[in-house]
């Protein structure tokens, strides 16, 4: 088994009277793709927002490579090597695709000038085009086009390309193939595999179980703020996963213990 990269222990989060996370625990290992499943409102986005510093948790602990960390902001998460693409993507609409792809990390011509160094637009354009091609969304997109001229799906592709480009250890995708066309969806799934093969860890939220069977090594199912099942994808099948998401009792399905956090730990 490969090394543990990220461990969540008993995360709790409430919004008023809604318990969005109830003692959620899970472990992500180096070089694996884990799919996070569950019905609408199950707590999936809340879980990844806790890891990415959007909503600090009310309780519980987060460990990165075995070390306890405090993630209070998006910057904290990025500094720990955790890159996240949220469901509602956050691009700068008035900047070009190329600028968005490298926001805050643009190549410069005179690096010794620090923050005053002029951007290297030639290199920026070249790198952006190469990245778009790699993700498989170069089709009709000009790296100089402004993001506010793009469709929702195209924007999603740009946001994903950006996260994948800088994924240090863990890359988290909240419904990355939502709104994407066939070719873009394949591009994202292929990229997820590439990132994994390069040794990174991917956690992705999806409602598409077929995608889980195409790219994920493990799957985790949430329901009402709790993690109710963890399975190795090769050891399960589509119907079983569907019934777990819909609320089947795991002990009947597997004939085993209901303590999945322990089983997976
Ligand atoms: N900012 C917020 N303020 C209040 N309630 C929230 C907030 N964010 C999430 N919730 C509530 O927490 C619960 C979990 O929401 P979450 O967005 O994590 O679900 P999800 O599993 O991502 O669902 P979906 O598949 O629809 O995206 C829901 O009941 C939701 O209404
Ligand atoms: Mg969500």
What residue spans define the domains of the chain? 4-91+168-264
Work out which ligand 1 atom sits closest to the CA atom of 21. Answer: 14
Confidence of residue 265 (pLDDT cuts 50, 70, 90): very low
Choose the residue to mutate in 36, 45, 84, 245 for probing ligand 1, maximizing ligand atoms within 8 Å of C-beta.
Answer: 45
Q: Whose CA is nearest to atom 19 of ligand 1?
A: 41
List b or e across 173-187, with b for residues whose CB sees 16 or more CB atoms inside 10 angstroms.
bbbbbbbbeeebbeb
Read off the DSSP letter of residue 217.
S
Confidence of residue 36 (pLDDT cuts 50, 70, 90): very high
Q: What is the pTM of this model?
A: 0.81
Please give the CATH topology (third level) of the domain spanning 4-91+168-264: Rossmann fold (3.40.50)
Ligand 1 midpoint to CA 19 (Å) = 10
Angle at the Cα of 168 (from 120 to 163), degrees rounded to 5? 60
Q: Whose CA is nearest to atom 16 of ligand 1?
A: 43
From 77-86, 98-107, 240-249, the region with the lowest mean pLDDT: 98-107
| Ligand 1 cavity residues, CB under 6 Å | 15, 18, 20, 38, 40-46, 87
Q: Which residues pair with 220 in a beta bridge?
A: 36, 230
140 pLDDT higher than 80? no
Confidence of residue 126 (pLDDT cuts 50, 70, 90): confident
Ligand 1 midpoint to CA 236 (Å) = 27
């Amino acid at each position: 088994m490969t090394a543990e990269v990220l461990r969540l222990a008993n995360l709790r989060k409430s919004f008023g009277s809604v318990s969005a996370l109830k003692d959620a625990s899970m472990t992500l290992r180096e070089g694996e793709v884990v799919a996070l499943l569950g019905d609408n409102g199950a707590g999936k986005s809340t879980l990844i927002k806790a890891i990415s510093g959007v909503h600090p948790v009310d309780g519980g602990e987060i460990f990165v490579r075995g070390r306890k960390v405090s993630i209070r902001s998006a910057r904290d998460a990025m500094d720990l090597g955790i890159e996240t693409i949220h469901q509602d993507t956050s691009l700068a609409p008035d900047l070009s695709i190329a600028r968005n792809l490298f926001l805050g990390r643009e190549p410069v011509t005179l690096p010794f000038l620090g923050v005053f160094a002029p951007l290297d637009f030639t290199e920026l354009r070249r790198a952006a085009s190469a990245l778009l091609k790699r993700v498989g969304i170069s089709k009709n997109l000009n790296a100089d086009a402004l993001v506010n001229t793009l469709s929702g799906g195209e924007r999603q592709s740009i946001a994903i390309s950006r996260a994948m480009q800088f994924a240090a250890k863990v890359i988290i995708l909240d419904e990355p193939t939502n709104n994407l066309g066939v070719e873009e969806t394949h591009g994202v799934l292929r990229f997820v595999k590439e990132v994994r093969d390069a040794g990174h860890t991917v956690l992705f939220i999806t409602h598409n179980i077929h995608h889980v069977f195409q790219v994920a090594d493990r799957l985790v199912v949430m329901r009402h703020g709790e993690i109710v099942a963890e399975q190795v994808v090769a050891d399960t099948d589509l119907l079983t996963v569907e019934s777990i998401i819909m609320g089947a009792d795991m002990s009947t399905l597997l004939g085993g213990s209901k303590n999945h956090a322990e089983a997976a730990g």
